[in-house]
Structure 1
């Protein structure tokens, strides 16, 4: 995870200068990109300006408290994770924070190791969500590109025979039925199959190619 930490931006919100700077130093030493705010107003300003993956905020501060920071961070970006810093023994605060969407809490006093364990847990979840979002976006892009490419765009021909092929593709694509496409090598069987797929109600599903000639007879059946 160490080579991934530089991708993670962390906002530390703590009115105690010594504690805030100590947290920042610990996380910066592990290659996290760190921003600091000593009050809720400054924190909100940073949340508006700066992409933030993780917020570590004290609960009790002058002005806006940690729950308000939590709510605002989630409003700006629902994927932002939040860790609440609470005073020792304030279990009710921790429960409230978790109900409002906090990922975790850490009770004062805490060590640098405790802080890192909590942070790494949050970062693991953040990175998983980033990867899932990336894959989702790639799948949407590829599906859209396939839909564009194989609407009819790669099938060449305007003759009456090809017009009949287009009409047949359009007709069978609307039905939930198996289709056998026959033709010599190079005549465009796969293009026709793709056109049927991407004009059907199954277009959001993957188009899977299978080389039947490479399969044993029993497997193919």
Structure 2
């Protein structure tokens, strides 16, 4: 590798490390209070970088918050993809996806970041996945509904509400997971088919529900 290319590579790695330090610092601080109560100076001091460095990576605190949320959602998709790998039944995929998604509200650090984003931001990112799962279930005859797009919007609004209730301690993790059976019935599955699916040993991430411990 030419010397000039090595310098560019080192510079890119250094920039990525600094960006990560800022994100990690903001994430750690957000455990204690909302980002609106955290100053950019607080973040740069926690990251041990200069104030001007912040603006080399982010235009504002809101820009940083969006980056935190995006990173969290990317990790969510990667872990979920691993969980459903090998599953073929659309109903199983839907239920595993639902259970994993709601359990993410137990992650106090991650959910504290997500709840500061507009609900539409979360719903929009959940919707694409859930609608795709529902349409696959329709194509394979597992689900029976007239308007998957409409139901998809309803499901995602409901899921965000369930996650909020779980994070606030209004419902526990088992109750949140049980609601998945109700959603399967809304998708047109019979009580017997839903119960058979709920009785199966499905793949599941290990999540410690801090808000309900």
TM-score range, shorter chain: under 0.3
The TM-score, its normalising length taken from structure 2, stands at 0.22
* More helix as a share of residues: 2
Which one has the largest radius of gyration? 1
The TM-score, its normalising length taken from structure 1, stands at 0.21
